[in-house]
Amino acid sequence: MFACVVGFALACSATTATSATSELPHIGPAPGFTLIDQDGKTFSLRNARGRVAVVTFIFTSCSSTCPLLTAKLVKVQRDLGSDAHNVVFTAITVDPLHDNPATLKEYANAFSADTSQFFFLTGSFEQIDDVSRRYAVFRKATPDGDVEHTFLTSLIDRSGTLRVQYLGTKFDTGEFLQDVRSLLEERP
């Protein structure tokens, strides 16, 4: 059922997320997770309650799309200015066999991400498989050591409701920033 909701949300996100005056859709409760961050500390999506959360999926040895997505989200984080402390960014690895906290920390530092509000997360293979599935993210290791996966970035409101999802990496950062700000303006 969640996959159907995600499909509907993806179809809606292109049209409903473009106007500052229209409210973003309410997809449903965001799937929770508890993983390990780049500093080896436990991070739970529950920690983000009261703030807007951004959830995306990457892996550190990716040489094509993941760096583009990470750079975009770091730019959004910077562009938020004084509102940045009200937004939690999470990048969950799809390659937990290789991406440990130290590797994720190096990756975060390479992009100059503000890791006080941007968490690069890993866990056991089973945990990553579970959270990927619940966010409708396909992932598959390839024989050459790469990981094919769906590029899906989710916005979650202050109450923990999944509101909109962006598919791919070519989304407009201005529109994304506008959607984040619209969620910041809503009362939880």
Give yes or no for a contact between 79 and 35, defined as CB atoms under 8 angstroms apart.
no
What number of helices (H) and strands (E) belong to the chain? 5, 10
**Which secondary structure element, helix H or strand E, spans residue 126, and what is its range?**
helix 125-134
Provide the phi-psi class of 75: left if phi over 0, else alpha when psi is between -120 and 50, else beta: alpha
Q: Supply 154's token pair.
A: 């989710």
CA distances from 35 to 12, 29, 105, 139 (A): 29, 18, 15, 18
Tokens of 110: 């390479």
CATH 3.40.30.10 fits 2-185, yes or no: yes
Q: What is the pTM for the complete model shown? A: 0.85
- Each of the 188 residues of the chain gets a pLDDT tens digit; together they read 344 334 434 444 443 344 444 689 999 999 999 999 999 999 999 999 999 999 999 989 888 888 899 999 999 999 999 999 999 999 999 999 999 999 999 999 999 999 999 999 999 999 999 999 999 888 777 777 677 767 889 999 999 999 999 987 788 889 999 999 999 999 76
